[in-house]
Amino acid sequence: MTGVFHQIEQYGHEQIVYAQDKEAGLRAIIGVHSTTLGPSLGGCRMWKYSDEGEALRDVLRLSRGMTYKAAVAGLALGGGKAVVIGDARTQKTPELLKAFGRLVEGLSGRYITAEDVGMKVQDIDVIRTQTRFAVGGSNEGGSGDPSVMTAFGTFQGMKAALKAAGLGEELNGKTVAIQGVGNVGYHLCSYLSAAGAKLVVTDIYPNQLEKVVQEFGAEVVGPDQIYGVDCDIFAPCALGAILNSRTIPLLKCKIVAGSANNQLETEADGYTLFKQGIVYAPDYAINAGGLINVAAELDGYNQEKVLTKVNQIYSTIENILDRSGKDNVPPHVAADRLAEQRISEGRLQKKDNGGCCAVSSQLSASVSAV
Ligand code: NAD
């Protein structure tokens, strides 16, 4: 395995924390990628990693992604993530969650945790008994399940993508193919159906499908058929890495816009979409509604303000697609450039302020609007 310092250097992290609590059965790694724009925030994933190298790679990749997501969303937050090594179905105990909470508290706010795969809203409630630095719980001002806001933001981003593709910005009469109708996919179907879109859906769980067929009149196709659906928008809302050399040749959509994280298997796949004229709404920009929702807790949760901020995902996607066109680069590259520009502005301002806690005035303004 490559040394930890070598890997941290590659990803540009500030800090990696390894921790164990033997009695509680906790083995965790926290990745603080960047605190340039504010404290690092990102979910805690509990997963049965095959070895600690795999856990480290995951936390490095995910925490860096959070830095970019927060920067593009205009939040005064950095990027972090935690992984707990273990099976969430059999090894997640209140003792383990509390030990994790104490670990987070020990970082004094450099890292703020939230839910991710293997962690539920109720688990955050337990973690919060030990730390002030956890968001997304259901008690004491917690914002609860973020998937409704993720879906709402994705819906707004779709409208901007439609406009950029020259298809107007109305969903009415458009066909949207949705891969995965779980938490986010279900709510997305609800917004799309209310807007008059025709829905074609797939999932590996029949129960999920039945619900959207009954409630929204969706047409069902098999998991392998979703890529070839003749549609305006293909919306990946299940797994990552589903845009690749095997699936892209099958696509008959004009736009890819969905909530799934890490949709491009490789950088090259983003270039292939661009060359084929398929408009891609970068995943971490369009799916930031959930992050905006949990981050709002830090200022005292106010749903109206959250909705206003999530609505702005429309202009974020519009801005990215506009830059992509002007610079003749794929949208994922335009999004990365936007994030990097905001981070370097924040870094400069932090230097000017003697190294402490500064964010650009634009970012401060947008955060006070959350
Ligand atoms: P979820 O687990 O509730 O839903 C995912 C759905 O995809 C499930 O119904 C599952 O059965 C289905 N699925 C899995 N494999 C599939 C396959 N091969 N083909 C078709 N369907 C398949 O998860 P979610 O919370 O709805 O999140 C969906 C995606 O959005 C994930 O990639 C997640 O990381 C991302 N995301 C979610 C949020 C949020 O607020 N929940 C925020 C940002 C990003």
CA of 281 to the centre of ligand 1 (A): 17
Confirm or reject: Cβ of 259 under 6 Å from ligand 1.
Answer: yes
Interval 98-150: pLDDT, tens: 999 999 999 999 999 999 989 999 999 999 999 999 999 997 778 988 999 99
Confirm or reject: Cβ of 182 under 6 Å from ligand 1.
Answer: yes
pLDDT of residue 141: 77
pLDDT of residue 3: 86
Query: Helix, strand, coil % (nearest 5) of the chain?
Result: 45, 15, 35
In contact, 66 and 88? CB cutoff 8 Å: no
What is the distance of C-alpha 195 from the center of its chain? 24
pLDDT of residue 144: 86
pLDDT of residue 367: 31
Flag whether pLDDT at 357 surpasses 80: no
Calculated CA dihedral for residues 356, 61, 53, 38, nearest 10 degrees: 20
Nearest ligand 1 atom to the CA of 258 is 30
pLDDT of residue 344: 96
Confidence band of 368 (pLDDT split at 50, 70, 90): very low
Mutate to test the pocket of ligand 1, among 184, 203, 229, 256 (most ligand atoms within 8 A of CB): 184
Q: What would the two tokens of residue 165 be?
A: 């593709």
Specify the residue with its C-alpha closest to ligand 1, atom 15: 238
Flag whether pLDDT at 364 surpasses 60: no
pLDDT of residue 361: 37
For every residue of 278-315, DSSP letters joined together read -EE--HHHHTTHHHHHHHGGGG---HHHHHHHHHTHHH
Confirm or reject: Cβ of 208 under 6 Å from ligand 1.
Answer: yes
81 is catalytic: yes
Confidence band of 1 (pLDDT split at 50, 70, 90): low
Confidence band of 351 (pLDDT split at 50, 70, 90): confident
Per CATH, 4-65+78-127 and 147-338 having the same topology is answered yes
Which stretches does DSSP call E strand in 25-77?
26-34, 40-47
Q: What would the two tokens of residue 283 be?
A: 């995943």
pLDDT of residue 363: 36
Torsions phi, psi of 356, nearest 5? -115, 115
Specify the residue with its C-alpha closest to ligand 1, atom 40: 147
For residues 252 and 137, give the distance between their C-alpha atoms in angstroms, rounded to a whole number.
40
CA of 260 to the centre of ligand 1 (A): 6
Q: What percent of the chain has pLDDT over 70?
A: 95
For residues 300 and 213, give the distance between their C-alpha atoms in angstroms, rounded to a whole number.
38
Task: Tell me yes or no: is domain 147-338 CATH 3.40.50.720.
Answer: yes
Interval 334-347: pLDDT, tens: 999 999 999 999 99
Flag whether pLDDT at 366 surpasses 50: no
Give the residue-averaged pLDDT of 315-333.
98
Question: Domain boundaries in the chain?
Answer: 4-65+78-127, 147-338
Interval 199-249: pLDDT, tens: 999 999 999 999 999 999 999 999 999 999 999 999 999 988 999 999 999
Flag whether pLDDT at 19 surpasses 80: yes
Flag whether pLDDT at 92 surpasses 60: yes
pLDDT of residue 349: 87
Q: In what order do the strands lie in the sheet with 78-85?
A: 15-21, 26-34, 78-85, 40-47, 111-115
Interval 32-45: pLDDT, tens: 999 999 999 999 99
The DSSP symbol for 271 reads H
Interval 173-185: pLDDT, tens: 999 999 999 999 9
Torsions phi, psi of 124, nearest 5? -65, -35
Q: What would the two tokens of residue 334 be?
A: 């335009």
Flag whether pLDDT at 4 surpasses 50: yes
**Residues contacting residue 187 through CB under 8 Å, at least 6 positions apart:** 147, 148, 150, 151, 152
Tell me which CATH code domain 4-65+78-127 carries: 3.40.50.10860
Q: 356 burial class (0-12, 13-18, 19+ CB within 10 angstroms)?
A: exposed
Q: What value does the mean pLDDT of the chain take?
A: 93
Catalytic residue among 81, 98, 254, 350: 81
